[in-house]
Amino acid sequence: MIRKKVTVVGAGFVGASTAMALAQQNLTDVVLTDIIEGMPQGKALDIREAGPLIGSDAEVIGTNNYVDTQGSDIVVITAGLPRKPGMSRDDLLNTNAKIVGGVTDEIFKHSPDAIFINVTNPLDAMAQIIFSKTKLPRSRVMGMAGCLDSTRMRTFISMELGISVENIHAFVLGGHGDTMVPLPRYATVSGVPITELMSEEQINRISDRTRKGGGEIVKLLGTGSAFYAPAASVCEMVEAILLDKKKILPCCVHLEGEYGVDGLFVGVPVILGAGGMEKVWELNLTDSEQAELKASADAVQELVDILGI
């Protein structure tokens, strides 16, 4: 059997954590690439040497040469500068746009049939760059954000109620920023909406913490931003695609009229399978929720307009 191949671009904290998490899944071989000589090679070898302990036969290689990424089934882009305390994701816009654009040009030469998953911030706008440069079908370009934002909300619900995370499901829509839209009506504990289990004050507190979840970690770390939960979020998406699971996950995708948004990457629930994003899953939103989603999409549009794409 020919093993699948996933390339992770950027061997920093997010990229290396993603490569390790992918190796632990034992579903695919992994290529970790970066412009810094020796760093991807060293981290890849370290991960490979963990193989006997984690029960993984995944081949993990590090490289500075895009030729080694040839024929990737999935490409995960994490390359770019992380946030520093006091910075918003949007402050990274122009610098990371140049990085992501350059990476996309190089990777696409060697893997034109790949599915692209963007992680670099500002996530929605960077996905738009990849989509614009590759001209791929919208099913094959997406961003990771929704899985991360939703797992943060699930975590906070678990902490508030003192129950297992396994019982909790949640959806967070919109752009990956301060305007994201947690949906308490669709957050459930063993099928029961949290609106029946919590006070309005508790729900508002959890929703607010979800929106600021990334910034909370940036502030605590002092340097850098989150990497473990983003890596795990990427792996959930990769697994759904490689195993053709038809799993409903919140992801940043190019909308074409769904939810009243057209021509823009915004986080919504989708069905992920072997074809990538196979269907947008449209929820019935209240007027208030729809207005919040529109405001979030408008914030993404502002960034796209600045980039001129």
Q: What is the CA radius of gyration of the chain?
A: 19
Dihedral angle computed from the Cα positions of residues 128, 132, 136 and 141, in that order, rounded to the nearest 10 degrees: -10
Q: CB–CB of 5/28 below 8 Å?
A: yes
Distance between CA atoms of 174 and 81, rounded to whole angstroms? 23
Residues in the chain: 309
Q: CB–CB of 163/144 below 8 Å?
A: no
Which residue, among 212, 218, 272, has the nearest Cα to 243 in the 3D structure? 272
Distance between CA atoms of 132 and 250, rounded to whole angstroms? 22
Distance between CA atoms of 67 and 110, rounded to whole angstroms? 7
Q: Which residues does the annotation mark as catalytic?
A: 176
